[in-house]
Amino acid sequence: MLRESVAALAIRPNGIYVDATFGGGGHARAILAQLQNGRLYAFDQDADAAINAPNDSRFVFIRNNFKYLQNCLHYLGCTEVDGILADLGVSSHQFDTGERGFSFRFDAALDMRMNQNAPLTAAKILNHYAEEELERIFRQYGEIPQSRRIAALIVKIRAQKPILHTGDLQAAVESVIPRLHAHKFLATLYQSLRIEVNGEMAALEALLEQSLRLLKSGGRLVVITYHSLEDRLVKNFMRSGNIEGTLNKDFYGNNETPFTVVTKKALLPLPQETTLNNRARSAKLRVAEKR
């Protein structure tokens, strides 16, 4: 949804913008194409992403997690911006680089770190977390009905042999993989581990809260999500202006919110895009403008 998300920023040629998830740089290049004397700050904690940084005086690449958005921008002398774009989830490069361990399509070490210098890996979670914690991760981040059984299986298997590779994990849970929906089951299992490894939900909460402090009046917050946990959080934040999604009311009973929601319903990718890129099928685009 590159075209739709960049258009949703309503770019001002001399404005200041943030690409919170630089990745391959597609959104950044599209934003730069509409800037004149403006500036674009791009964040990515993955060292591989730095290779894609354009040589442009209007562009600043920040190799860091977007949860440090405000501190990094303040350090660079930027205290307010005209727009923030975040395309959440795993980049195509991360999915397709087998040794990163993000995909069950490859036989690889269970890594899943977006920041390769971070200490926590999926293998450490699987081999050292208590059974109750594993159950919580699968239930909370994957919304998997068999979470308790999966956690018990993993604890049983790891007592005999460490679960270190993608093949080890699939073998450990083989008995609960539904034959007709194996791909979907494994995708949610990997999703839950990845979210825990990278602290994704806490980072998203931090990004949303800081966006409210950084955006100018009339500035746009544009977010693409890929699963229901992210989407609910973004939807509620844009509606209420707080992480809890609590709607506060003024003396007259009117809702008090710092945002005007631009997309009453999430925008979905066009059929042409999902045909070309199957990974886009679960994308949802939401947009809000600060009042």
pTM as predicted:
0.93
What is the dotted CATH code of the domain comprising 2-92+200-290?
A: 3.40.50.150
Residue pLDDT, tens place only, 200-244: 999 999 999 999 999 999 999 999 999 999 999 999 999 999 999
Res 248: pLDDT:
84
Going by C-alpha positions, the residue among 282, 284, 288, 279 that lies closest to residue 92 is 279
Residue pLDDT, tens place only, 87-101: 997 877 787 788 888
Residue pLDDT, tens place only, 154-209: 999 999 999 999 999 999 999 999 988 999 999 999 999 999 999 999 999 999 99
Res 288: pLDDT:
98
Strands (E), the chain: 16-19, 39-43, 59-62, 81-87, 215-225, 248-249, 255-256, 259-261, 284-290
Q: How confident is the model at residue 35 (pLDDT cuts 50, 70, 90)?
A: very high
Domain range list for the chain? 2-92+200-290, 98-198
Only one residue has tokens 């270190």, namely 164
Please tell me the distance from the alpha carbon of residue 227 to that of residue 239, in angstroms, as a whole number.
18
The domain 98-198 having CATH identifier 1.10.150.170: the answer here is: yes
Please report, for residues 177, 230, 271, 285, the alpha-carbon distance to residue 274 in angstroms, rounded to integers and kept in the order given: 26, 20, 5, 14
Res 31: pLDDT:
98
Res 277: pLDDT:
79
Terminal alpha carbon distance of the chain: 25
Please tell me the distance from the alpha carbon of residue 168 to that of residue 77, in angstroms, as a whole number.
48
More confident residue, 49 or 248: 49
Please tell me the distance from the alpha carbon of residue 44 to that of residue 91, in angstroms, as a whole number.
11
Would you say residue 253 has pLDDT above 80? no
